[in-house]
Amino acid sequence: MAIEIPDNVPVMILPEVSLFPGMMLPLFIFEPRYRQMLKEALEGDRLFAVAMRSPDDSGEVPEPVAGVGLIRASVENDDGTSHLILNGWSRVLVKRVSGYDPYPRIDVEPVVENDEPSMKAIALATKVKELAGDLIRRQAPKGGTGDDEAAYVSKMGSESFNQFADQLEAADSPHLISDMLPPALVADPRRKQELLATLDLEERLEKLLGLLMEFGNQSN
């Protein structure tokens, strides 16, 4: 499905949250301004951006790179709040905040990815996938064998890890590989944002490879 990103989009400016392409981000909408934003988005193109709040500013200043997503599902609660799933669609460069009333909006420029990755990017992605798959399977909780709640939770956790490892194994796009791993494996929000803001595919894969090697050393 082709989606054209508008030049100006609504945005949620949140602390320590980044939206990657392909990511499914659950959000709880409770502030009145964001309730209005959601209502208008659902009546329109179902698009809005998520930008990490800059740590260098006390106000609502977004980081220079954000993610625009498509609302896949939204459920309104009896109290007017909503739970939704936002599907990350595209990186965007934040050109400026165009206003805050009644909710923040930003002027953006979509980041166009090269459809044909270089041989170096393909090689890096292969290595990243290999290391990540090994790390995921080693870190997966062992499935419980009893009938109690703890065993059930352990079993579900093990299955979830293995399902993600299988999804990673099936991924053949360096772009997809570079964007599906940070939300799942990188805990530090600032490091996630750094990967989101790394626009060059080869550089992004190199950084991700370095992080995976670091994680692997820590788990040994």
Most distant CA pair in the chain, distance: 56
Are 130 and 70 members of one domain? Answer: no
Contact 54, 162 (CB under 8 A): no
What's the confidence (pLDDT) of residue 219?
A: 61
Distance, in Å, from the CA atom of 40 to the CA atom of 88, rounded to the nearest integer, reads: 19
Could you report the per-residue pLDDT of 136-154, keeping only the tens digit for each?
877 755 554 555 444 433 3
Average of pLDDT values for 176-185? 94
End position of a domain, from candidates 110, 127, 157? 110
What's the confidence (pLDDT) of residue 5?
A: 96
Residue 3: inside a domain: no
Are 177 and 86 members of one domain? Answer: no
What's the confidence (pLDDT) of residue 220?
A: 59
Q: Write out the residue range of the structural domain in which residue 151 sits.
A: 119-219
Are 104 and 13 members of one domain? Answer: yes
End position of a domain, from candidates 64, 92, 110? 110
Q: Which of 167, 165, 178, 175 is nearest to 211 (CA)?
A: 178
Could you report the per-residue pLDDT of 57-92, keeping only the tens digit for each?
778 999 999 999 999 999 999 999 999 999 999 999
Q: What are phi and psi of 103, to 5 degrees?
A: -150, 160
Could you report the per-residue pLDDT of 86-130, keeping only the tens digit for each?
999 999 999 999 999 999 999 999 999 887 899 999 999 999 999
Domain CATH number, residue 45: 2.30.130.40
Contact 212, 185 (CB under 8 A): yes
Reply yes or no on whether the pLDDT at 180 is more than 50: yes
Are 71 and 130 members of one domain? Answer: no
Q: 0.75 cut: is pTM over it?
A: yes
**Other Cβ atoms within 10 Å of 63 Cβ, number:** 19
Are 97 and 28 members of one domain? Answer: yes
Report helix, strand or coil for 12: strand
